Structure 1
C-alpha cells in the first residue's frame, strides 16, 4: 500500500522596517555585533515595548494579498522559553488572537491547472538574536542585533502532499512578499526562513505523528530535507517502529537530519497575555486604505501580460518574477510599442541572459530600457539583422554609445537594396558554378548553401528575407 505525505509550513519573514518591532533600534543588516541594541530589546528590567505601526501595516497588506480575514482587534502574548539568544526569556508574539486569519496561496500544477493551499494565520512577533558557533572548541557567540526585529510568521494548513508542492508554495509566497515590498525576503540573510511539519499516513487514515524540520533558508535544502524526512519516517514505520514527535535540524553538508529536541506543544511555552502592550486595534477605514494602496499582484500581472501583450505563459512568468523586472519590461514596451513580443524575447533571453552571466541584477544593467528600445527599432525597420543586433547589444553592454552609433561604427547596417544584394548573389553564383548546376538540377537543399555564402560575403549585413527572395529568382536561370 502506498504512503501519503502531509506537509504544513511555518514561514518566518523579517519585515523591512527601519526600526525594530518594539523599540527604536536600527534593523540594518551587517552592522558590528551587538551595536544595534537598547535596554528594550536587551530585556532590561522595567523597559516597556512600543509597537511599530509600520510593521502592523505591512502584515495587514500581506493578509489582504492572500485574501485573508483581518482581525480589527488582536492581541500580543508572551511565548516563554530559555535560550541564549533570547535575552528576555520570552518572545513577544501573537497566539490566541492573531492579526490575520485564513487566506490561501494558489500554486501551479503539472497539468496546467492550479491547486489552492490554505493559510491558517499570519501573526506578528519579534525575532530572537543569533547564535554563532566557531572554532574547534565550539565557542559560541551571541549577536543581539537581530533581537527584536519584526517578523511575520505565516502558518499554512497541512495541505501539501509532496516536497514539490511545498517548494511551489514557498516560491509563490516569496514572490508575493517581494512584490508587496514588505520584505526583501533575502534567504541568505535569514529574512525568509522556513520550518516544515512533516508526517506520513496511509491514504484515508488520520494524520500521522509529525516532525518539524527547523530554520531552513534555501529552496534546495528544504526540498532535500522534506524528501529525506519522508523516507526516514516510512522506514521507521515499515520496520515496526513509531515516529517520535520532535524538532530536527537539517545538515546540508551531510544531507541528513538530526534530532534537536522533543517537539513542544503550546502549553510548553506557557503563553499568557503580554501585560505591557494593550490590544492591537485597527479600524476598517485603515484596512481599506491599505487595500487601496496594494500593487498589482504577480498572478494578476502574469494574466495581464498574456492578454495585453500576447506573451506566452512562460515569458509572462519570467517577466513578472519581480516588480522591478515587470516595470522594466513595461518601460521597454512603452518605448518600443510596435512589438511587445520582440521586447519580451530580447529582454528575457538576451539582456537578462547577459546580466546573469555577469552576475548582475537588472538594477545594475548598463543598458537602459530606452537604449534597448532604440536597438529594437533598428531591428524593426530592417536597419540591422537579428544576428548582428546581438553583437550590437554586446557592445552596448560595454559602452554608453547608442545603437545607431555602434551599427555605423561596425558597419553592421543591413543591406536591403535589391541591386546591391543581386550583385553579391551573382558573385557567389559565379564562384560556385557546380552548386548552381546542382540546384537547377533539383538539389533544392543547396539553397541553404547559397544563403550562407551570400550572408558571409555581405558580412551578415544583407537582409535575409530579401536574400532568400532574390536567390530564388536568380537561381532559376
Structure 2
C-alpha cells in the first residue's frame, strides 16, 4: 500500500530564536609617504609644533590646485595585491562636501564612485578558533582631516599638520559575526600594513582608526538597523564596544524599542556606548567628481605596473606562518616571529645562515627564552636584535652545540657574555671567547671523573636515594655535574659516567 505523508503533521525545522550579529568594519590608515596627498608639504602627523607643515594648497587658498601623490597610490595598490583583490584600471576623485573646521576647503577629496581596489579577503580566526575569511568591499584613498583639540577651555584649537595626509580607507563586507573575529581582523590588517611598510599603523598615535558597523537580527528575518561606533582607539576597545552594543540592541528590541541609525561612541571607563549624532547618508555629502584632479588610468602609468609591484612584495604574514609551521615551530613561536619584526628579521637571517633544520629549531629555543628574557630587562631601545647580540656569533653558538663542543648551559652563559658586547668583543669568534671562558666541552675523562667524585661526595642523601630506586635523581646529579664543570661537559657523557659511578 502506498503511504502518503501528512504534510500538516510532519515536523518542520524551527529557526533559531537567537539574535545574530552582523558586523562590518571601516578602517582608516595613515600612509607612509614623504609628502601629503595633494601637495608637497611634509607628511609628519606627529609634529608637535602646530601648523608647521602647511601651504596654500592644503589650506585651500583661492586659485591653488592639487597634484596627486604617486607613492600613496602605490601603497594602496600593494595592499590590494596582498589581499588578492581586484585592482581597478580606472579611478577618479570626488568631493565629499561638509562644513567643519578640520576641513579648510569645505569638502574632503575622496574616492566614492570608483575606488582603487575591489573585493579581496583576509584570513583570521573567530571566537571559537576557526579559520574564517573576511571579505572586503573596497579600499580607496582620501585625505586626512586636521587634528582638533577641545579641552583647552571654552574654545577649540585646530592643528592642520595632519590635514591632507594620505589616508587609506578599507571597508569589509558585513561578514563578521563576533567581537574576537573583528579584533583579529584589525590585528591582521595592522600586521599586513607594517609588513608591506605602507603604514606604521599605530592606533595610539591615530595612524590606524577603527569604526564598527553593527546590527542584529533573528534567523530568517531581514537585517536590523545599523549602528556605527566611532573613535575606537584599540582593538581591545573595539571588541568590548561590539560586545556591549550587541547586548544593548538585544535588550532594546526585546523591551519593545527600536534601534535607530546613529553614530555612537564608546566610554572605556563605563564599558558602554553612547549616542553622538544621527548617522548621515551618502546623499547628505553631495558627492561629485573633483574637476581639479585628472581621471586616472592605472595601466598607463609605469610606476603603477601591477606585475612589478607584486613581484616586489615582501613575504606576507600567512606565507611566513606556513613556512615556520613547516619547520615544526610551536604556534606561539610562529606568531612571535610573524607579528614582531624585531625577532622575525633576526630569525630570517638565521634561516639563511643555518641550513640544518634541527639547529634552526634549536635556535628558536634560545631566542624565545634566553634572548627574549634579556630584551625584557633592557631599558635601552634598539631597532635590530643584532645590535644586542651579534647574529654571526649567535649562529656560531648554535653550530657549536650541533658539533657537541658547547653545552646548553655553556650556550646560555655565552649569550650573557656576548650581550651588548663592545666592538672588540663583537669582532671575535664565538668559539675563541668560549675557550677563554672555559666553556668549550672538555673530552678529558680525568676532568669529568674528578667532578663526578666531588658531586657524589657533596650529595650523599641524593646518592643513597638513587640507589634505593629513585632514578629521577640521576638528572639532578647531572645538573650538579654540569654546574661544577661550568658547562664544559657534555651532558650525555656526564649522564653515562654517573650511571657507572653509581653502581
Give deviations 1:118-149, integer Å, cap 9, x for gaps.
100001100000001224x3542110000000
Gaps in structure 1 of 5+ consecutive residues: none
Q: Which residue is equivalent to 2:296?
A: 280
Is residue 463 from structure 1 mapped to residue 490 from structure 2 by the alignment?
yes
Q: Which residue is equivalent to 2:54?
A: 37
Given that 2:127 and 2:179 are in contact with CA atoms closer than 8 Å, whether structure 1 keeps it comes out as no
What TM-score, normalized by structure 2, do the two folds share? 0.88
What TM-score, normalized by structure 1, do the two folds share? 0.92
Given that 2:225 and 2:260 are in contact with CA atoms closer than 8 Å, whether structure 1 keeps it comes out as yes
Q: 1:21 to 1:306 in 2, by over 3 A?
A: same
Is residue 316 from structure 1 mapped to residue 338 from structure 2 by the alignment?
no
Q: Which residue is equivalent to 1:385?
A: 407
Q: CA deviation at 1:54?
A: 1.3
Instruction: Please list, as runs of the form range in 1=range in 2, the aligned pairs for 1:111-150 lying within 5 A after superposition.
Output: 113-135=130-152, 137=153, 139-150=155-166
Choose the corresponding residue for 1:340, options 331, 356, 360.
360
Alpha-carbon distance between aligned partners in 1 of 2:443 and 2:215, rounded to the nearest angstrom? 67
SS of alignment partner, residue 12 of structure 1: strand
Given that 1:319 and 1:348 are in contact with CA atoms closer than 8 Å, whether structure 2 keeps it comes out as no
Give deviations 1:360-408, integer Å, cap 9, x for gaps.
4552642132232122233333333323422332332242335446534
Instruction: Please list, as runs of the form range in 1=range in 2, the aligned pairs for 1:73-472 lying within 5 A after superposition.
Output: 73-109=90-126, 113-135=130-152, 137=153, 139-283=155-299, 286-307=305-326, 309-322=327-340, 325-338=343-356, 339-358=359-378, 360=381, 362-363=383-384, 365-400=387-422, 401-402=425-426, 403-404=430-431, 407-408=434-435, 410-432=437-459, 435-472=462-499
Give deviations 1:264-315, integer Å, cap 9, x for gaps.
11011111111111211110772222222222211112212333x4434442
Alpha-carbon distance between aligned partners in 2 of 1:384 and 1:417, rounded to the nearest angstrom? 15
Alpha-carbon distance between aligned partners in 2 of 1:188 and 1:405, rounded to the nearest angstrom? 46
Given that 1:352 and 1:362 are in contact with CA atoms closer than 8 Å, whether structure 2 keeps it comes out as no
Alpha-carbon distance between aligned partners in 2 of 1:256 and 1:382, rounded to the nearest angstrom? 60
Given that 1:424 and 1:454 are in contact with CA atoms closer than 8 Å, whether structure 2 keeps it comes out as yes
Q: 1:426 to 1:105 in 2, by over 3 A?
A: same
Q: Which residue is equivalent to 2:66?
A: 49
Q: 1:258 to 1:378 in 2, by over 3 A?
A: same
Aligned residues: 474
Given that 1:355 and 1:362 are in contact with CA atoms closer than 8 Å, whether structure 2 keeps it comes out as no
Alpha-carbon distance between aligned partners in 2 of 1:446 and 1:116, rounded to the nearest angstrom? 51
| Larger deviation, residues 355-364 vs 228-237 | 355-364
Alpha-carbon distance between aligned partners in 1 of 2:162 and 2:440, rounded to the nearest angstrom? 57
Give deviations 1:25-84, integer Å, cap 9, x for gaps.
000243211010111111112211111111111111111111111111111111111112
SS of alignment partner, residue 134 of structure 1: coil
Q: 1:228 to 1:474 in 2, by over 3 A?
A: same
Given that 1:211 and 1:245 are in contact with CA atoms closer than 8 Å, whether structure 2 keeps it comes out as yes
| Larger deviation, residues 319-328 vs 285-294 | 319-328
| Larger deviation, residues 153-162 vs 324-333 | 324-333
Q: 1:103 to 1:435 in 2, by over 3 A?
A: closer
Q: CA deviation at 1:357?
A: 4.0
